[in-house]
Amino acid sequence: MTTGGTREVNFDGIIGPTHNYAGLSPGNVASASNAGGTSNPKAAALQGLSKMKFLMDLGLTQGVLPPQQRPDTDALRRMGFTGDDEKILREARDADPTLLAAVWSASSMWAANAATVSPSPDTADGRVHMTPANLVSNLHRSFEAQTTTRALRMIFANEQHFKVHDPLPAQMRFADEGAANHIRFAPSHAEPGVELFVYGVTAHDPSMTTRKYPTRQSRAACKAIARLHQLDPARTVFARQHPDAIDAGVFHNDVIATGNANVFLYHEQAFAMSRSLITDLAGPIGGDLVCVEAQNTDFSIDDAVGSYLFNSQVVTLPGPENSMCLLAPIEANENKPVAAFIERMVADPTNPVNRAEFLDVRESMRNGGGPACLRFRVALSDAELGAAHQGVILTDALYARLVDWVEARYPEQLSADDLVDPSLARRCLDALDELTRILDLPGLYPFQQ
């Protein structure tokens, strides 16, 4: 939607050619339950591109983010493995198969974890601020920060409009998982908003622990990002995830809550103190916050995690009505209590979400990421959008080129046994080299330096 010359642009992560089911993410129920299975990288990437095309055809501005260089054999060399790629890959498998899986991971596809962004109406210097996530909670994701920072600085290079910060210190006190734990509310994308940061742990409070799964986002990281982005403290809210939700598989806040403009969609067990949170959010935006709360009587947290309803995208559609559409995974429509809740929400005239669409991103879902995981959203004015790198903005022509690239370059299937194949590693690098030419991002990857 464009509002006063400002629109939300969704930059989706292109699912990389090494998409596989390694189950590397503790607390991610879907990822763990499919660990060891045979993945379908080509189908996954085509599903992701189809989802991007769907949003573009709705009239929304859509961008893409490139995948990471994988396998990351340099990471294995930093761990003491030596020799050519074939020797390194085989020795890593023999020493610890999880290390091998980590350097092949295509997890950067979930671009919601790429960074946290504050649009220019919210920042003191009037620029769009971005802080790439350090992702230190999981080894396989911690390898992403350097290339993500380089990619964002290439796409948002104009320092008159953009400030891309360094990631926070790579230490658990500042554990940062990006926009998956951040929601911005505002009457429109062009107006100053309220930014909600959600955390699971405070470094100085040992009582804030979970029983089953680890927490990933720290309060210190949220506070640091708010300072870096020059946010108004009166319009910045910090909230704690409910520890029971984390133990149920809510590893990121976007598995249990989402928002768009003035709409807040969440489960009643999402936060440790929901009522005071609503007051804190509603005040700065003039009390116009529209809360859509799913209660336990509607469906359980297990239903939320299984269906990924809250990992849907809520987008404002073009047109004067400012109506909104819920872009949900098809799994949400297959869960009867969740589907019934969606039907009631769409029919309710007290909120602007009056349409629901169900998207097939099953390959991503099997690895624990729904439609909202795949996108990094950035509110941009016309001038800011014009100053961004245009090679990553989706058009019909770019979509066709990317589909052809996937069809030509991606493996049909991938299993754990394939991860020791040096010829597959070379083919993946050749594919990424071609992608940088398609997107006009020369020198993005370490192997191109």
Catalytic residue ranges: 177, 252, 373
Cβ atoms of 25 and 251 within 8 Å: the answer is yes
Angle 226-197-135 (CA atoms, 0-180°, nearest 5)?
85
Here the tokens at position 299 are 């469906």
Longest dimension (CA), the chain: 64
> Backbone phi, then psi, for 193, in 5-degree steps?
-120, -175
Name the burial class of residue 90, with classes exposed (0-12), middle (13-18) and buried (19+) by CB atoms within 10 angstroms of its CB.
middle
Query: Beta strand pairing status for 263-267 and 128-132?
Result: unpaired
Angstrom distance (rounded) from CA 243 to CA 255:
14
- Percentages (nearest 5) of helix, strand, coil residues in the chain: 40, 20, 40
Residue that the structure tokens 């092949």 belong to = 104
Q: Which residues contact 321 (CB under 8 A, 6 or more apart)?
A: none
- Please give the span between the terminal C-alpha atoms of the chain, in angstroms, as a whole number: 38
311 to 104, 323, 368, 370: CA distances (angstroms): 25, 19, 10, 6
Angstrom distance (rounded) from CA 142 to CA 252:
16
Query: Beta strand pairing status for 6-13 and 2-3?
Result: antiparallel
